Chains A and B, each alone.
Chain A
């Protein structure tokens, strides 16, 4: 008879370190995206310590380890932004500046989006999360993520001058 898969986070430090290792890159990218200008490595470590302390609350029936850890990382990034808030922040300034690089154009266009749409674009396109993981970070349903992404693309299209093929 097969044993049911574990639904709890590992309780040993060694096991927990192994358990989070596959998700480090995603947490790092998410934090780098949501809290630019703050040391992402430090924030990842802080998020991991927080996850370790809350490990008893993790329940695999309610979501994947990746989604749980990403949600904690996103919350850590939000707190860091409030703590460290510099007078300038790429996501706080919505200036259009002419450029010769489409990366810069996209960055500027994304910076003009409302916060929820920007968060969806950041998670889905930049951090590379799935819709399910984006929903975990945003604290909403998958359907809401899809509609938010659609609304964001609708706003971005004229800014990026994407023309019908």
Chain B
């Protein structure tokens, strides 16, 4: 193995070991699990299946109501077509160009609330933005996303959000949703729910989004009745 491959091998092994160390202990197994009469999750009766369907539909309706109340105008855009990213028409756009894009900067007055095992020191180039109810990290000069991978829906990006008390174990698929409006032209998006991602900065809620066009985008995360908006710049790199 060459030196560089040795170094990469060590780096991967080290990151992997850290990931393993962060994993919770598995639930204990008991002999009762292996009862011949045990019904698996895939062998539910029709009554149970119907109840699960109704419960799921009710959750979806509840989410739509929350979004309708907390972010009026979002629902028609999500419903406008497409699996998540849609285009909209209309004027009132800001001029194009990153210089005209009101990028959101970190808020030096905000410090995330302490969390067990979390180190919120981001170093000199980044900072936090939001409130204990919902916050994210930003580059000091604003988020300028370049080199994003292009998919059939747009440019793929990951957005990370934190909230006080979030537990990946209690909520492995957090009910967080991200909507977006392009500010310098037509384009809207909506994606969610999220998944969990744990770093040294603690447990975050990750929402992958597909941005249909480059330009200046206002992204809003919605979690329950809380929301947080940031403005980012997206360009091909």
The segment out of B14-22, B58-66, B91-99 that lies at the interface is B14-22
Q: In the bound complex, how far is the Cα of B13 from the Cα of A162, in angstroms?
A: 14
B191–A38 CB distance below 8 A: no
Check A20 for interface membership: any CB of B closer than 8 A: yes
- Neighbour of A95 across the interface among B4, B33, B157, CB < 8 A: B157
Check A25 for interface membership: any CB of B closer than 8 A: yes
The segment out of B102-110, B120-128, B180-188, B213-221 that lies at the interface is B120-128
- Neighbour of B8 across the interface among A13, A126, A162, CB < 8 A: A162
A92, A98, A121, A162: residue with the most chain B Cβ atoms closer than 10 Å: A162
A165–B19 CB distance below 8 A: no
B16–A128 CB distance below 8 A: yes
Contacts known (A86-B173, A96-B147, A160-B8); A165 close to B3, Cβ less than 8 A: yes
How many interface residues does chain A have, given as a range?
Answer: 35 or more
- Neighbour of B26 across the interface among A27, A49, A107, CB < 8 A: A27
A96–B148 CB distance below 8 A: yes
Q: In the bound complex, how far is the Cα of B234 from the Cα of A96, in angstroms?
A: 12
- Majority secondary structure of chain B interface residues (helix, strand, loop or mixed): mixed
Q: In the bound complex, how far is the Cα of B153 from the Cα of A134, in angstroms?
A: 33
A44, A95, A106, A126: residue with the most chain B Cβ atoms closer than 10 Å: A95
- Neighbour of A29 across the interface among B23, B29, B173, CB < 8 A: B23
- Majority secondary structure of chain A interface residues (helix, strand, loop or mixed): helix
Q: In the bound complex, how far is the Cα of B17 from the Cα of A124, in angstroms?
A: 11
Q: In chain A, what residue has the closest Cβ to B198?
A: A103
Extra A-B contacts (12), CB below 8 Å, given A88-B191, A106-B15: A24-B29, A28-B26, A90-B195, A93-B149, A93-B208, A95-B149, A95-B208, A100-B125, A156-B12, A160-B8, A162-B7, A164-B3
Q: Please report A residues at the B interface, Cβ cutoff 8 Å.
A: 12-14, 16-17, 20-21, 24-25, 27-29, 32-33, 36-42, 44-46, 48-50, 52, 84, 86-90, 92-98, 100-104, 106-108, 112, 121, 124-128, 153, 156-157, 160, 162-165
10 nearest A-B residue pairs (beta carbon)? A88-B208, A37-B195, A28-B26, A125-B16, A13-B31, A13-B34, A93-B208, A165-B3, A41-B27, A125-B12
